[in-house]
Amino acid sequence: MSRSVLVTGGNRGIGLAVARRLSADGDRVAVTCRSGEPPSGLLAVNCDVLDATAVDEAFDKVEAEQGPVEVLVANAGITRDTLLIRMSEQDFTSVIDTNLTGTYRVVKRAARHLMRAQAGRVVIISSTAALSGVAGQVNYGASKAGLIGLARSLAREFAPRGVTVNVVAPGLTDTAMSTALADGQRERIVGQIPLGRMADPEEVAAAVRFLASTEASYITGAVVPVDGGMGMGH
Ligand code: NDP
């Protein structure tokens, strides 16, 4: 395999694990990098998914360096956790704008080539929060549930063109995002996970890798949980 891949938010955490996994398989992998140091050995393009022009420019750079994007992994995401009663409109809209509308921006830009090529893969990173709900994550849960609706509608639009669209829904994963949780909150969640631990980012990357592979050619519109059994398949 040597496909042109773009992973949003691929400078750290789950996105970086996905990028490294696909790169190790022989793909040409670019990551968007909004801040911090670009990771070594990968093409890093500056991009804030809140900005449609920046998204367009990032795709232009990737196309120039490694060819049009054939595999898109929409991973960039944020949390702004607090109970509804304390949640400002800014807390709500910033999470929706990054996680949901940001994904709309990148898949829309990727669609230009994918529709023409009549082949390709889109994998969107949602969360078990979309499926089970989490107190303190009204904004995040709404954005991640929205991604499932987006993916399934897109799967139908893209299916006649041979492009699959799938969702990976990780449970608690060992990254900066989960480190930001209070110790007690993290331990309480881990206590509810049948496998009794958080996921490693590489375990999420393995599911993304499969859905992005040729072996997954007959899977589209699926939501694949990587959650240690927390949702028992849901
Ligand atoms: P991290 O906080 O470690 O990484 C988030 C990534 O998203 C960073 O690369 C960050 O860039 C990027 N990002 C955030 N906002 C923007 C933006 N506006 N434009 C471009 N990039 C942006 O989190 P994870 O690796 O844990 O999360 C990756 C995905 O997995 C997210 O969508 C998250 O919701 C999801 N997820 C995570 C779980 C977990 O427990 N960790 C569980 C379920 C789902 P920068 O470095 O510049 O901030």
Tens of pLDDT, residues 4-16: 999 999 999 999 9
Is the Cβ atom of 50 under 6 angstroms away from ligand 1? yes
| Ligand 1 midpoint to CA 217 (Å) | 27
The number of domains in the chain is 1
For residue 175, is it within any domain?
A: yes
Distance 97 CA to ligand 1 centre (A): 13
Domain that holds residue 56: 4-226
Q: How confident is the model at residue 1 (pLDDT cuts 50, 70, 90)?
A: low
Q: Does any domain span residue 234?
A: no
Instruction: For residue 120, give the CATH number of its domain.
Output: 3.40.50.720
Cα of 160 from ligand 1 centre, angstroms: 31
Q: Is the CB of 177 under 6 A from ligand 1?
A: yes
The string of pLDDT tens digits covering residues 196-217 is 999 999 999 999 999 999 999 9
Q: How far apart are the first and last CA of the chain?
A: 31
Condensed to tens digits (0 to 9), the pLDDT of residues 134-163 reads: 999 999 999 999 999 999 999 999 999 999
